């Protein structure tokens, strides 16, 4: 009898880009990909954060380099990718939020959030996919549970994450024949610098705890397994979908 073989959860010999990899969920993704054996390049706007992240990762023996890149600068995106060897994996964790009631939302806030979360994300995926043509690859968009449900003070943020869900499905359809997989990870509230003000507000923390079915809130490490799964051959038939790491938030 021939037993089925578990596909590899390793990334040895593969290159991974993590946009927004200097802190938060992106740094967790970078560590996870490096621990799986990948050569990892992290990007962010701030040089200091990049230096701290790459030094900490190198101290653990990881193969990592850092580069300054504001993903909202589409010309800079193209110049950066032209100077790099193609990537086998890309995680886009560069994102932002400006929470306010829909009635109070300004056009400036709307533009800032959509520019990063939707426009820049679209073109980063497009530009990275061009380099994957012929060899295939895995693109992982850091979306949100808010790409599947609504939330108070989050109409614009939710709009951007629903848009990421939509572009992911369409890209998966277009690029599937080239073996380029495109998926999202949809975290619930995870303790990061982005969400520190929300967790610090007792009312908001109580709301989060009331919506998550499990008896705790999310940590960066909760996202790392999903990153490894989607990046490796373990998920080689998975595309155009999302992995909800939401503690049961969207279950009802
Ligand atoms: N934390 C949560 O609870 C949660 C839940 C669901 C979804 N998410 C999503 O997960 C992603 C990461 O969130 P996070 O909490 O880890 O955020 P974070 O702690 O603020 O980290 C964001 C990372 O992205 C970089 N970045 C931000 N804007 C950028 C830009 N324009 N160009 C390049 N890099 C940029 C930041 O570095 P620089 O500032 O130096 O550029 C940093 O490395 C976001 O898309 C967020 O919407 C987060």
For residue 146, the model assigns a pLDDT of 98
Q: Provide CB contacts within 8 A for 2, sequence distance 6+.
A: none
Would 2 be classed as within a structural domain?
A: no
Rounded to an integer, the average pLDDT of 142-160 is 98
Would 222 be classed as within a structural domain?
A: yes
For residue 102, the model assigns a pLDDT of 98
For residue 189, the model assigns a pLDDT of 98
Question: What pLDDT digit, counting tens, does each position of 61-116 carry?
Answer: 999 999 999 999 999 999 999 999 999 999 999 999 999 999 999 999 999 999 99
Would 3 be classed as within a structural domain?
A: no
| Paired tokens of 38 | 């990948």
For residue 142, the model assigns a pLDDT of 98
Residue 110 known to be catalytic: no
Residue 237 belongs to domain with CATH number: 3.40.50.720
For residue 202, the model assigns a pLDDT of 97
| Paired tokens of 29 | 């993704």
Question: What pLDDT digit, counting tens, does each position of 27-43 carry?
Answer: 999 999 999 999 999 99
Rounded to an integer, the average pLDDT of 158-176 is 99
- Of the pLDDT bands very low, low, confident and very high (cuts 50, 70, 90), residue 182 is very high
Would 6 be classed as within a structural domain?
A: no
- C-alpha 239 chain-centroid distance: 15
Return the best residue to mutate from 17, 18, 19, 20 for the ligand 1 pocket (most ligand atoms within 8 A of CB): 20
Domain coverage including residue 125? 15-247
Would 90 be classed as within a structural domain?
A: yes
Would 1 be classed as within a structural domain?
A: no
Question: What pLDDT digit, counting tens, does each position of 120-129 carry?
Answer: 999 999 999 9
Ligand 1 atom with least separation from CA of 161:
47
Of 28, 5, 19, the closest CA to residue 224 belongs to: 28
Alpha helices by DSSP H, the chain: 24-35, 47-59, 74-82, 107-114, 121-132, 155-175, 196-200, 202-211, 221-231
Residues with CB under 6 A from ligand 1: 19-26, 44-46, 49, 69-72, 93-96, 116, 142, 144, 187, 189-190, 192-195
For residue 21, the model assigns a pLDDT of 98
Look up the pTM and report it.
Answer: 0.98
Would 52 be classed as within a structural domain?
A: yes
Looking at the 3D structure of the chain, how many domains does it have?
A: 1
For residue 150, the model assigns a pLDDT of 98
Would 9 be classed as within a structural domain?
A: no
């Amino acid at each position: 009898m021939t037993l089925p073989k578990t596909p590899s959860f390793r990334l040895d010999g593969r290159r991974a880009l993590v946009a927004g990899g200097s802190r938060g969920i992106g740094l967790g993704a970078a560590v996870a990909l490096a621990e799986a054996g990948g050569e990892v390049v992290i990007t962010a706007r701030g040089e200091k954060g990049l230096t701290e992240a790459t030094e900490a990762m190198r101290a653990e023996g990881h193969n990592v380099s850092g580069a300054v890149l504001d993903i909202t600068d589409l010309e800079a995106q193209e110049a950066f990718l032209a100077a790099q060897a193609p990537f086998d994996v890309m995680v886009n964790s560069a994102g932002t939020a400006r929470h306010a009631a829909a009635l109070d939302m300004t056009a400036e806030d709307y533009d800032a959030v959509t520019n990063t979360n939707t426009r820049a994300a679209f073109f980063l995926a497009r530009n990275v996919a061009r380099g994957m043509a012929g060899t295939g690859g895995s693109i992982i968009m850091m979306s949100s549970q808010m790409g599947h449900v609504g939330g108070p003070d989050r109409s614009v943020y939710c709009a951007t994450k629903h848009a990421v869900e939509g572009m992911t499905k369409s890209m998966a359809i277009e690029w599937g024949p080239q073996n380029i997989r495109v998926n999202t990870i949809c975290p619930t509230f995870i303790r990061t610098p982005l969400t520190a003000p929300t967790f610090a507000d007792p009312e908001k923390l109580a709301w989060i705890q009331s919506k998550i079915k499990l008896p705790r809130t999310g940590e960066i490490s909760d996202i790392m397994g999903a990153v490894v799964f989607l990046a490796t051959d373990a998920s080689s038939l998975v595309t155009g979908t999302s992995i909800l790491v939401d503690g049961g938030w969207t279950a009802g």
